[in-house]
Structure 1
Amino acid sequence: MKRLFFLLYITALAVVFPFAALTAEASDFGDRVSSMAEITGIRDSSDADKTRIVIDASKPVTYKKMVLSAPDRVVIDIANAWVSPKLDRQLDLDTNFVGTVKIAQFDPQTVRVVVETKVGRNNYKVFGLNSGTVPGRIVMDFGNLTDSSGAKIDLPEKTPAAKPKAETVKPKSAKQEQAQKQEKKEPEKSKDPTNKDEELDEELAGITGLKGRKIVLDPGHGGSDSGAIGPTGVMEKSVTLRVANEVRRLLVKEGATVYMTREADIEVSPKRAKATDIEELQARCDVANEVNADIFVSIHMDSFTNRAAKGTTGYYYSLGDKRSRVLADKIRSGVIDQIGTQSRGTQSCNFYVVKHTDMPATLLEVAFISNEQEEKLLDSEDGIRKAAQGIVDGIADYFG
């Protein structure tokens, strides 16, 4: 099957992607983010009157805010910024004024902060601090604040439990006593402690546009088909599955429904190793078509006889769904932003899996497994995690 992909790839390369493109200018991650602010910290403090949340950045930042559900949530979008991988993405504060705070890379240029708050619309404020000693900082206060007129804002207070009134004890009937005993035997149903987190995950998912989306991930190759093999023996089929599994984890966390064409080192066709190339590829398409998926993403590692070849490419079928090119472009850009590979562009192709799926579809060549540096990158946990995050960022950008 790899031979089929290779022939198709060479054909597309000869027509629309001349060899000179191999020397195209690299899109180095460090250069790309040099003009962006890194979000390096998020911290909080609380007292009886307010909860303060502080977001630290490596340089001055600008932001926009939104209020949702009057306002059950306050959303801050920080422009031209990226989240440090070392940063905790969630704070569970559960103060009188703030519940949970979440921070995520909303798109390649925007960091989104979502604050679950219990205060009214005038009981919070957001402001920035930029100075010589403080490169970039956003401060959010929630609580019993003073508005511009100097009047104190009243917040709803917790109602103390009422003391039970003294009652005259009446003798119980045998039937009442039996019912009371039965009631004591039945354990009180405890609330699911994960419900709150699940609800917040759903809220964030709704904001990023992934909630409820049906997404099919196709880890390339598998079973008897190893795909390309890198200089040190790393197999394409293992890298694609590792990346796809991490993409699935991230997408499910954001509320999407994810289907995998394969979840193990096997062929997708029921015929397994006896399947023809076409039967195996059609089986992958069938997974997406049968569930009526919103998008189809096939994940591959590229390979070339010249080991100097490198970079990330997004492919789409030009005669298919018109949104496929946008999907391919968004995902390619997301991956490049995360792993810093060279951009080889978004190219039209005739690959079977993107031609025979009924929804927007892309085949992503994450990097060149034939290139020693890119093989090493994608055989590392950090590389897998970043590549997966890039794919998710691109998908979120597509639906956003």
Structure 2
Amino acid sequence: MRKKVELLLILLVIAGLIICSRHLTKYVLTDKVDTKKNTVVIDAGHGGSDPGKVGVNDALEKDINLEIAKKVKKLLEKKGVNVIMTRESDEALGDGSKGSRKVQDMRERVELINKSKPELTVSIHQNSFHQAEVHGAQVFYFKHSAEGEKHAGIMQEILRTVDKGNTKEPKADDTYYLLKKTETPIIIIECGFLSNPEEAEKLTTKEYQKEMAEAITDGILACLKD
């Protein structure tokens, strides 16, 4: 009788360990999924010897991109989002040791994004056009990505609140290197036109950069919830 009781107790202990093990595994997996879902890559376009667009006021796109990107990072981190930046200073990712500096830079950005496996990547840029009156933020997405199209629509709607006169719609594209080569959803935001005197001036001010960063952050959070 005593042996039967001991055997029963041993079986109960083993069963308890198995159940605990399953719950622990489930918790660990859930934690990993949550972490992944809260990871966003913020890509500040250009940098280093690549200035990007040059504004009518001589403002450099690379500088504006970085300022807005850093503000977005801070705002997202306050919301508990894990943010990975492709750059946090005035530098390019490619040094030209493996061929074209620009090509290497783009490849390294793609490699960083793909390794990070974020739920969303937002690449921040500034636009330019030969007609000075053209203005307004616009979002681009990969032509063959339904997820990218959805995120672009959400972001574009929120960005319009910054500029009530902005009537631009999200635009599909299949030529941009970042859009073609990244393995997870990505959108490119052209925050405004440096060829437009009024918009170029606004984009160099901390106040407008903050306003733009807040809108981008709201858009990202909306995309993560969707």
Deviation per residue, 1:204-263 (Å, 9 max, x gap): xxxxx9996110011111111111111111110000000000000000000011111111
CA change 1:282–1:343 in 2 (3 A) is: farther
Match of 1:377 in 2: 202
2:149 is aligned, of 317, 322, 325, to: 325
Match of 2:42 in 1: 217
Instruction: Give the Cα–Cα distance (whole angstroms) in 2 for the partners of residues 270 and 212 of structure 1.
Output: 32
Instruction: Give the Cα–Cα distance (whole angstroms) in 1 for the partners of residues 216 and 56 of structure 2.
Output: 25
Q: Please, which runs of 5 or more residues in structure 2 have no aligned partner? A: 1-33
Instruction: Give the Cα–Cα distance (whole angstroms) in 1 for the partners of residues 105 and 221 of structure 2.
Output: 29
CA change 1:272–1:340 in 2 (3 A) is: farther
- Structure-to-structure mapping, 1:53-92, within 5 angstroms: none
Instruction: Give the Cα–Cα distance (whole angstroms) in 2 for the partners of residues 247 and 210 of structure 1.
Output: 19
Q: Which residue identity lines up with residue 317 of structure 1 in the other structure?
A: F
More helix by share: 2
Give how far 1:342 is off: 1.1
1:308 is aligned, of 133, 158, 161, to: 133
Give how far 1:399 is off: 1.7
Q: Contact 1:368–1:374 at 8 Å: present in 2 too? A: yes
Secondary structure of 1:353's aligned partner: helix
Secondary structure of 2:212's aligned partner: helix
Q: Contact 1:281–1:353 at 8 Å: present in 2 too? A: yes
Matched, 1:288 2:116: no
Matched, 1:262 2:87: yes
Q: Contact 1:335–1:386 at 8 Å: present in 2 too? A: no
CA change 1:365–1:311 in 2 (3 A) is: same
More strand by share: 1
Identity %: 27
1:365 is aligned, of 190, 195, 198, to: 190
Instruction: Give the Cα–Cα distance (whole angstroms) in 1 for the partners of residues 164 and 91 of structure 2.
Output: 31
1:393 is aligned, of 214, 218, 222, to: 218
- Structure-to-structure mapping, 1:195-274, within 5 angstroms: 213-271=38-96
RMSD value over aligned CA atoms? 2.1
Give how far 1:318 is off: 1.4
Instruction: Give the Cα–Cα distance (whole angstroms) in 2 for the partners of residues 223 and 330 of structure 1.
Output: 31
Give how far 1:275 is off: 3.5
Give how far 1:303 is off: 0.3
Q: Contact 2:98–2:104 at 8 Å: present in 1 too? A: no
Q: Which residue identity lines up with residue 147 of structure 2 in the other structure?
A: R
Give how far 1:274 is off: 6.4
Q: Contact 2:133–2:196 at 8 Å: present in 1 too? A: yes
Q: Contact 2:94–2:101 at 8 Å: present in 1 too? A: no
Secondary structure of 1:299's aligned partner: strand
Give how far 1:272 is off: 7.6
Instruction: Give the Cα–Cα distance (whole angstroms) in 1 for the partners of residues 193 and 35 of structure 2.
Output: 29
CA change 1:272–1:298 in 2 (3 A) is: farther
- Structure-to-structure mapping, 1:33-182, within 5 angstroms: none
Instruction: Give the Cα–Cα distance (whole angstroms) in 2 for the partners of residues 362 and 281 of structure 1.
Output: 15
Q: Which residue identity lines up with residue 103 of structure 2 in the other structure?
A: I
CA change 1:376–1:274 in 2 (3 A) is: farther
Question: How many residues get paired?
Answer: 191
Q: Contact 2:53–2:128 at 8 Å: present in 1 too? A: yes
CA change 1:324–1:380 in 2 (3 A) is: same
Deviation per residue, 1:135-160 (Å, 9 max, x gap): xxxxxxxxxxxxxxxxxxxxxxxxxx
Match of 1:346 in 2: 170
Q: Which residue identity lines up with residue 263 of structure 1 in the other structure?
A: E
* Runs (4+) off by over 4 Å: 209-212
The structure with the largest alpha-carbon Rg is: 1
Q: Contact 2:94–2:102 at 8 Å: present in 1 too? A: no
Instruction: Give the Cα–Cα distance (whole angstroms) in 1 for the partners of residues 77 and 180 of structure 2.
Output: 26
